Amino acid sequence: MFKYGGFKFFLIKISAGAVFLVFGMFMIISLGTYDTSDPGLGKLQSFGGTKNFFGYFGALASSSFLFAFGFYSFVLSFFFFYFGILFFLGIFVNRFFSKFFLILISSVFFNHALVGLYPELKQTGIIYNGLNVVFENFVKVYN
């Protein structure tokens, strides 16, 4: 279970695990306390209060994640939190980067299913919207 290798790998895995764990917790809490009236992308302001738990920086981070990934940003936050725990405890993780890219690719399918169920939903993220436009144009050209 606790396979750190040598002391050097122990420090690397503990450090990487702590970074992923803190980033995952930060994103989970900042996304959970996200408010549309907080400053974010497109509405930067240095005055007034924020309702986000982490203040101005948390509001910007949650707004950026929601802008890029939509509601799927919660899944990415839990992914970083989960793998942070695994790295921190020294549990061996096979193909971390392939799992990360599969999670990113699945965000497109998740958002597509979400839009299919709830057509009025607008917060699907710019990554999904961009790939959706490319796919629709590809289908129009070759159909």
3-state secondary structure of 124: coil
**pLDDT of 119 strictly over 80:** no
Question: Which pLDDT value is given to residue 21?
Answer: 95
pLDDT over threshold 80, residue 3? no
Q: Please tell me the distance from the alpha carbon of residue 104 to that of residue 65, in angstroms, as a whole number.
A: 13
Backbone angles phi, psi at 40, to 5 degrees: -170, -155
pTM: predicted TM-score of the whole model, two decimal places? 0.78
CA distance 85 to 134: 37
In this structure, are residues 40 and 29 in contact, taking their beta carbons and an 8 Å threshold? no
Among all chains, which residue has been given the structure tokens 């490319």? 134
Segment of 36-40, 72-76, 105-109, 110-114 carrying the highest mean pLDDT: 72-76
Whether the predicted pLDDT of 46 surpasses 90: no
Q: Which long-range contacts (CB under 8 A, 24 or more apart) does 136-143 make?
A: none
